Structure 1
């Protein structure tokens, strides 16, 4: 009986080793998946922040062109004008979130209202149970919108010369702005009322 018991224990030992190895592999796999998910979430946060920063910078740069479009009632044409998005703010925000921007472009053609930013995280997954993960880095993309909150302004031509002398903006948040193109207020004092910025679904 004793010899049989020792033989059973000897047969069970390799099975025990295999079970432990299997559990260890599963633990490493779960850890790798968790790390990859965390890196993906971090990259998405970096992309979101970078896209918002890019559209905020674009909004801050609208002033001269926006005011110049008013006298000739060319506001719609200005908002539809092709432009190169300012991406220095996106670079700063991506860098602050441990990522590098790989793309910063207008979302649709070259229109002013949306900017898409894609980033790549700097840390690889680097798991021994995931082949090729040593150089696998998380990527994410986000699109942010510059939303005009005060459409259909009322234009006033005081001297009937065909040039609009005053624009009255009635905004969705209930605010009313009066802008005289000949003496416009500082852009920073009105830009956040005229335009909102937000993330949009991909």
Structure 2
């Protein structure tokens, strides 16, 4: 081999090492980007699930403590508009749900919306990129409670008065007429009828009258 060929090979070898090292670093960097994306996706999933958990809790408790026999038509219209929703315990449910998904969450209830911010407890991990071992996933989500039904125009709820004892009435005679049933028209043409004196499961009723979804 000539001396010039040997000299050229010696000069090319460091360049070859630099190119291989650069390609290896780029490949590892792409791996870190993928890991960061997965961490971010995990955070978004936890945020979505936590926001929905809060909204469902608020929806399911919509009728807790309600005296159906005392509700007027105006009361029902406010209820169906979401004006009497209750956020008690909803944000606690969001935080609990985030914890189950290995994340920390903060929640803000602004009925009918619930806004949740989440950060993952796990990090991207150590890598060729400095600081990745401290990089967590962060995400936000908003869930909203939406009315599904309106009062049937033919249904006019009125409070049911307490029966007044009548000393001249014979046992089993007279008394107060049974409360009028309340009819609702819901999305998809679904009809819902409520007996105010026997409302049944309050959670089932809330789920029929309200839906929960993630905000766009």
State TM-score, norm by structure 1. Answer: 0.82
Question: 2:14 matched to 1:14?
Answer: yes
Q: CA deviation at 1:159?
A: 9.1
Change (3 A) 1:130 1:187: same
Q: CA deviation at 1:45?
A: 0.8
Indicate the structure (1 or 2) with the bigger Cα radius of gyration: 2
Structure 2: give runs of 5+ residues left out of the alignment.
Answer: 162-178
The 1-side partners of 2:69 and 2:78 are apart by 8
Look up the SS of the partner of 1:63 in the other structure: coil
- The answer on whether the counterparts of 1:84 and 1:105 sit within 8 Å (CA) in structure 2 is no
Other-structure match for 1:137: 136
Q: How many residues align?
A: 194
- The answer on whether the counterparts of 2:143 and 2:214 sit within 8 Å (CA) in structure 1 is yes
- The answer on whether the counterparts of 2:120 and 2:137 sit within 8 Å (CA) in structure 1 is yes
Other-structure match for 2:83: 80
The 2-side partners of 1:37 and 1:137 are apart by 11
The 2-side partners of 1:159 and 1:99 are apart by 47
Look up the SS of the partner of 2:115 in the other structure: strand
Look up the SS of the partner of 2:187 in the other structure: coil
Question: 2:195 matched to 1:194?
Answer: no
Change (3 A) 1:17 1:160: closer
Alignment of 1:119-158 (within 5 A): 119-154=118-153, 155-157=155-157
The 2-side partners of 1:6 and 1:66 are apart by 93
Look up the SS of the partner of 2:107 in the other structure: strand
Other-structure match for 1:167: 182
**How large is the Cα RMSD of the aligned pairs?**
2.7
Other-structure match for 2:95: 91
Change (3 A) 1:83 1:190: closer
Look up the SS of the partner of 2:149 in the other structure: coil
The 2-side partners of 1:100 and 1:181 are apart by 41
The 2-side partners of 1:132 and 1:69 are apart by 62
Question: 2:180 matched to 1:181?
Answer: no
* Over 6 Å off, 4+ runs: 158-161
Q: CA deviation at 1:32?
A: 1.0
Moved more, 179-188 or 82-91: 82-91
Higher RCO (C-alpha under 8 Å, 6+ residues apart): 2
The 1-side partners of 2:65 and 2:75 are apart by 10
